[in-house]
């Protein structure tokens, strides 16, 4: 692990040196942000690099995605939502950012708006098992158990048809469905 960390440090230094030769390359700052965020957990450095990448290339979808994910992880929900809204207004990968928007709103306990975001994303990506699962989470949270069960069943169907290989996802959905079915029987 220590060797990996050292390699990422070296890569980061190489990208930093590259900015001295060409400070106008958004992709270089994108890579500094990605390495800082994903591999070194240096979040402020990552945000600073993403901010510079935004300045240089305000339509770079990857910068928006990584910035949203990082801000969501840091629980800086207002900034994450603002980043999502900016990406959506520019027409960048609408489904992915509607999903991020749903996650942010869910974390902020704005469940109805979160549900609307997931449903908008599902209009574009109806075969996304994770979106169905997240929609089910919202329905379950607001007490719409029948809708939750339907969403989770769709998640399992799309999971199976996509031949996904994440048994923990399937197991989690099955566990939730068992619990929901018990709750619905008891109504």
pLDDT band at 6 (very low <50, low <70, confident <90, very high): confident
Q: How far is CA 62 from CA 50, 94, 105, 155, 157, in A?
A: 10, 13, 21, 26, 29
Q: pLDDT tens digits for 158-182?
A: 877 655 677 788 888 888 888 888 8
Flag whether pLDDT at 49 surpasses 70. yes
Per the document, the length of the chain is 187
pLDDT on residue 91:
85
pLDDT on residue 163:
57
Given a contact cutoff of 8 angstroms between Cβ atoms, the answer to whether 146 and 184 are in contact is: yes
CB neighbour list of residue 13: distance below 8 Å, 6 or more residues apart: none
Output the average pLDDT for the chain.
90
CB neighbour list of residue 93: distance below 8 Å, 6 or more residues apart: 61, 65, 87
Flag whether pLDDT at 101 surpasses 60. yes
Given a contact cutoff of 8 angstroms between Cβ atoms, the answer to whether 122 and 131 are in contact is: yes
pLDDT on residue 13:
93
Higher pLDDT: 91 or 106? It is: 106
Q: pLDDT tens digits for 60-100?
A: 999 999 999 999 999 999 999 999 999 999 888 789 999 99
Domain range list for the chain: 126-187
pLDDT band at 4 (very low <50, low <70, confident <90, very high): confident
| pLDDT above 90 as % of the chain | 72
């Amino acid at each position: 692990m220590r060797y990996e960390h050292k390699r990422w440090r070296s890569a980061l230094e190489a990208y930093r040196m590259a900015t001295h030769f060409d400070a106008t390359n958004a992709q270089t700052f994108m890579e500094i942000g990605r390495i800082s965020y994903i591999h070194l957990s240096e979040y402020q450095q990552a945000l600073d690099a993403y901010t510079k990448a935004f300045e240089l290339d305000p339509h770079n979808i990857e910068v928006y995605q990584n910035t949203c994910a990082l801000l969501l992880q840091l629980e800086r929900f207002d900034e994450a939502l603002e980043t999502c809204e900016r990406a959506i207004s520019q027409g960048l990968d609408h489904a992915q950012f509607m999903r991020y928007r749903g996650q942010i709103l869910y974390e902020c306990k704005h469940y109805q708006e979160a549900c609307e975001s997931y449903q908008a994303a599902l209009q574009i990506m109806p075969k996304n098992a994770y979106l169905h699962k997240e929609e089910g989470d919202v329905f379950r949270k607001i007490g719409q158990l029948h809708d939750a069960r339907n969403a989770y069943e769709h998640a399992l169907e799309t999971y199976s048809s996509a031949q996904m290989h994440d048994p923990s996802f399937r197991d989690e959905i099955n566990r939730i469905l068992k619990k929901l079915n018990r709750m619905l029987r008891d109504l």
